[in-house]
Amino acid sequence: MGIFDKFRKIDTSDTQGVLGPDLAVLVSYTATGVQLSPTNFRQLDAMTKSIRTLTTVAKSLPSAAYLGHNNGPAVVSTPHDLTDAQRSILDSALRVDQAGEIAANYIYKGQLAVLGRDRKVGPLIQEMWDQEKKHLVVMDKLQVQHNVRPTVLSEVAKAAGFGLGVVTALMGKEAAMACTEAVETVIGEHYDDQLKELDSFQTSHPSVPLLKSVIREFRDDELEHLDIAVVNHSQRAPAHALLSSVVGGGCKIAIELCKRF
């Protein structure tokens, strides 16, 4: 149970069961409601500070520029001083990234359809899917900002992603995690390659540094998903090497297709 989950639904008839023994929160009932024992204020204060820290970190992430009401040039305009080659790089990069986030959302949607009731893996898949949902929102806005044509293969990405998610989940929890490991390995490398290309751009437009920061943030998120998969025994999946090769190879082919189409 995460730090926020402890505050979502508190049934005052069973505070110990909901809040958990780790909090050891004692309550007393009065005519006005529930009162916390003074001995527990330090623990709650520490948790409150943790929540504030997490909120501050979230607001300071580069992607936050696209999730609020920011109307600065870095988030609403595109550079007009790029060479044709650089514009082509930018277009293909955002087209692929948007398609990749569509596919990722449907992979996790498919996995959750099968493993959603698993008490251990279900919440992990949901957590990773929630991050991918945010990624897609940002990529959609970047696509509009930079006037990039979306891939014509978006429906294929949805179907293939959902199918891959369902099939690997039906193979077992380890196979579902092996799918995540393989996908995120390729995506992590792909984002690194994009950053190298964007480093060569000679422009003073503020959107490019912001884009690079967003890509770094998303790359780190994807590598975190990879770590989660490995910790949750992705490498114990049946035919792990073969599964990883097939999934990873499919991702690389999809990247090249979406660059062009």
Q: Report the percent of the chain where pLDDT is more than 70.
A: 77
Residue 63 domain-assigned (yes or no): no
When mean pLDDT is compared across 55-64, 83-92, 110-119, 214-223, the lowest value belongs to: 55-64
Residue 148 domain-assigned (yes or no): yes
Inter-residue contact 146 to 77 (CB < 8 Å): no
Residue 99 domain-assigned (yes or no): yes
Kindly report, residue by residue over 79-102, the tens digit of the pLDDT.
989 999 999 999 999 999 999 999
Verify that 183 and 256 share a domain, yes or no. Answer: yes
Verify that 182 and 130 share a domain, yes or no. Answer: yes
| Cα–Cα nearest to 181, from 120, 223, 150, 145 | 223
Inter-residue contact 64 to 210 (CB < 8 Å): no
For residue 179, the model assigns a pLDDT of 96
Kindly report, residue by residue over 175-190, the tens digit of the pLDDT.
999 999 999 999 999 9
Residue 52 domain-assigned (yes or no): yes
In our burial notation (b when 16+ CB lie closer than 10 A, e otherwise), range 241-255 reads eebbeebbebbeebb
Averaging pLDDT over each range in 27-41, 54-68, 71-85, 90-104, which range is the top one?
90-104
| Cβ atoms < 10 Å from Cβ of 135 | 23
174 is in an annotated binding site: no
| Cα–Cα nearest to 210, from 66, 81, 106, 27 | 66
Residue 231 domain-assigned (yes or no): yes
Domains contained in the chain, number: 2
Verify that 15 and 88 share a domain, yes or no. Answer: no
Verify that 136 and 179 share a domain, yes or no. Answer: yes
DSSP state letter for 20:
-
Domain holding 22, by residue range, is 5-58
The distance of Cα 131 from the centroid of its chain, to the nearest Å, equals 3
Q: Report the percent of the chain where pLDDT is more than 90.
A: 66
Residue 23 domain-assigned (yes or no): yes
Reported as type and span, the H/E element at residue 178 is helix 173-199
Residue 67 domain-assigned (yes or no): no
Inter-residue contact 173 to 118 (CB < 8 Å): yes
Inter-residue contact 225 to 128 (CB < 8 Å): yes
184 is in an annotated binding site: yes
Verify that 53 and 124 share a domain, yes or no. Answer: no
Verify that 31 and 94 share a domain, yes or no. Answer: no
Verify that 48 and 167 share a domain, yes or no. Answer: no
135 is in an annotated binding site: yes
Verify that 168 and 218 share a domain, yes or no. Answer: yes
Verify that 255 and 165 share a domain, yes or no. Answer: yes
Verify that 196 and 84 share a domain, yes or no. Answer: yes
Inter-residue contact 40 to 62 (CB < 8 Å): no
Residue 15 or 160, more confident: 160
Residue 220 or 68, more confident: 220
DSSP per-residue codes, 61-126:
SGGGGGTS---SHHHH---S---HHHHHHHHHHHHHHHHHHHHHHHHHHHHHHHHTT-TTHHHHHH
Among 16, 36, 58, the domain boundary falls at 58
Verify that 228 and 109 share a domain, yes or no. Answer: yes
| Cβ atoms < 10 Å from Cβ of 72 | 11
Residue 142 domain-assigned (yes or no): yes
| Cβ atoms < 10 Å from Cβ of 198 | 18
Euclidean distance between CA atoms 200 and 155, whole angstroms: 33
Verify that 214 and 103 share a domain, yes or no. Answer: yes
Q: Domain of 103: which CATH number?
A: 1.20.1260
